[in-house]
């Protein structure tokens, strides 16, 4: 017959499963809120020392972070969509009115006639693509407005989670250690690893975006793109967008240079964006900031790009955290097994 203690344990498992099931639609916001709380904990601690009021310090920390994020995103979306539409219209005018881009395109594609491809058809395709850029930019803005409610709901749960973790992480971790079926020392080690990797991943993602923005600004300034600082900031923010990322900024910048009869600068800008802004940042800087010295490069890339493929934008943060916790768990297990095997050998030898 099932004992009362075992029955209570099974009921506890069912309770945990039920809570996870209910929280699943908001899991991303809850996890990101937790990781943001880990990252902002030093600022929260400093404000607590200044105000002597933990609740007020938590509200100030969260409000400052949310205002900064929303302000930056809203300014980026507004300015980026406006300037992208203006660029697309400029490209169409240059092509339609036999401007510098049309002349350059005629010169560069004249050899295609040998293969039965007319320059006029190429020009029409490019012009149609420019029109598509303008329409897609408006569509992106509309989709962002449509998804505003779900974004705000996720942000709401992230804020609540940030407040809870900033104020009560020590109590939360103590409760997890108490109810965890693992050894208390192992549970504490996993929680410490979770906190460390979460803070490192969020800060690494932010620093990678800043690095891409700085590198892109240098490229914009060298090649003569107007307002290089603005587009550098846009590049830093666009680095958080899944799949396309910084391509949304430096490719239109290259097309702008083509449209204004600067083909050499345009080629330099496109090469700089591909090799430095994307290549060096995503394959050299990001793995070093987000990865762990004890984690092989293959695992870092699997965590980053596997997380991006499975979960989209949140995967850049969630993927490395899951990988680090999985590696830490396997490390604990292998250490425990090695200790058991060593103990068995010593007993057998005696």
| pLDDT(86) > 80 | no
Statement to judge: residues 91 and 213 lie in one domain: no
- Over residues 99-114, the mean pLDDT reads 53
Instruction: State if pTM tops 0.85.
Output: no
Percent of the chain scoring above 90 in pLDDT: 0
Q: Residue 309 pLDDT > 70, yes or no?
A: yes
Identify whether residues 136 and 104 lie together within a single domain. Answer: yes
Q: Are residues 34 and 158 in the same domain?
A: yes
> Domain ends where: 172, 188, 215?
172
The pLDDT, as a whole number, for residue 270 is 85
Question: Is 333 found in the same domain as 195?
Answer: yes
Higher pLDDT, 166 or 302: 166
> Which residue carries 């695992």 as its tokens?
299
Q: Are 137 and 206 in the same domain?
A: no
Q: Are residues 313 and 207 in the same domain?
A: yes
pLDDT of residue 348: 67
Residue 85 is predicted with a pLDDT of: 62
For residue 88, what pLDDT band results from cuts at 50, 70 and 90? Answer: low
Q: Is the pLDDT of residue 129 over 80?
A: no
Q: How many CB atoms lie within 10 A of CB 114?
A: 7
| 12-38 confidence digits (pLDDT tens) | 778 888 888 888 888 878 888 888 888
Question: Using CA atoms, how far apart are residues 100 and 87, in angstroms rounded to an integer?
Answer: 15
Does pLDDT of 74 surpass 80?
no
DSSP secondary structure, 160-186, as one string: HHHHHHHHHHHHHHHHHHHH-SS-HHH
| Same domain flag for 299 and 168 | no
Q: How many structural domains does the chain have?
A: 2
DSSP string, 10-60: HHHHHHHHHHHHHHGGGHHHHHHHHHHHHHHHHHHHHHHHHHS-HHHHHHH
Task: Please tell me whether residues 272 and 239 are part of one structural domain.
Answer: yes
Domain boundary among 172, 204, 235: 172
What mean pLDDT, rounded, does the chain reach?
Answer: 74
Is 239:207 a contact under the CB 8 Å cutoff? Answer: no
Q: Is residue 346 situated within a structural domain?
A: yes
What confidence tens digit (pLDDT) does each residue in 167-185 have? Answer: 988 898 888 888 888 788 8
Domain presence at residue 209: yes
Does the structure show a pLDDT above 80 at 89?
Answer: no
Question: Mean pLDDT lowest for which of 52-61, 146-155, 278-287?
Answer: 146-155
Among residues 142, 172, 202, the one where a domain terminates is 172
Mean pLDDT confidence for 140-160: 67
Q: Could you tell me if 97 and 242 lie in one domain?
A: no
**Structural domain for 302, as ranges:** 180-350
Does 281 lie in the same domain as 184? yes
The answer to whether residue 11 is domain-embedded is no
Q: What angle do CA 154, 312, 287 make, to 5 degrees?
A: 115
What pLDDT score does 326 carry?
82
Position 4 in a domain? no
Within a domain: 31: yes
Residue 6 domain flag: no
- Please check whether residue 5 lies inside any domain of the structure: no
Least confident interval from 45-54, 64-73, 226-235 = 64-73
73 and 197 both lie in a single domain? no
298 and 186, same structural domain? yes
User: Is residue 143 in some structural domain?
Assistant: yes
């Amino acid at each position: 017959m099932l004992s009362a203690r075992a029955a209570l344990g099974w009921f506890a498992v069912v309770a945990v499963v039920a809570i996870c099931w209910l929280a699943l639609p908001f899991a991303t916001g809850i996890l990101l809120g937790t990781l943001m709380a880990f990252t902002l904990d030093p600022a929260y601690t400093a404000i607590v020392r200044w105000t002597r009021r933990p609740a007020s310090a938590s509200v100030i920390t969260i409000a400052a972070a949310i205002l900064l994020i929303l302000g930056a995103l809203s300014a980026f979306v507004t300015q980026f969509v406006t300037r992208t539409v203006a660029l697309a219209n400029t490209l169409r005018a240059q092509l339609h009115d036999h401007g510098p881009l049309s002349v350059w395109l005629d010169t560069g594609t004249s050899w295609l006639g040998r293969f039965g491809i007319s320059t006029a058809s190429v020009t029409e395709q490019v012009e149609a693509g420019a029109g598509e850029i303008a329409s897609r930019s408006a569509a992106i803005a509309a989709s962002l407005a449509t998804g505003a409610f779900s974004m705000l709901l996720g942000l709401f749960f992230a804020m609540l989670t940030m407040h809870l973790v900033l104020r009560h992480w020590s109590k939360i971790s103590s409760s997890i250690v108490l109810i965890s079926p693992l050894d208390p020392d192992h549970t504490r080690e996993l929680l410490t690893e979770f906190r460390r990797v979460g803070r490192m991943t969020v800060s690494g993602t932010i620093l990678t975006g800043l690095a891409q923005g700085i590198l892109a600004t240098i490229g914009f300034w060298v090649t003569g793109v107007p307002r290089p600082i603005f587009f550098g900031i846009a590049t830093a923010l666009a680095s958080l967008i899944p799949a396309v990322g910084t391509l949304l900024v430096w490719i239109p910048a290259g097309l702008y240079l083509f449209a204004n009869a600067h083909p050499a600068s345009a080629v330099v800008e496109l090469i700089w964006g591909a090799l430095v802004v994307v290549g060096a940042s995503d394959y050299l800087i990001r793995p070093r900031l987000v990865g762990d010295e004890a984690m092989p490069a293959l695992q870092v890339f699997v965590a980053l790009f596997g997380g991006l493929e499975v979960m989209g934008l949140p995967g850049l943060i969630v993927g490395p955290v899951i990988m680090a916790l999985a590696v830490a768990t396997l490390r604990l297990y292998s250490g425990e097994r090695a200790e058991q095997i060593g103990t068995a050998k010593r007993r057998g030898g005696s």
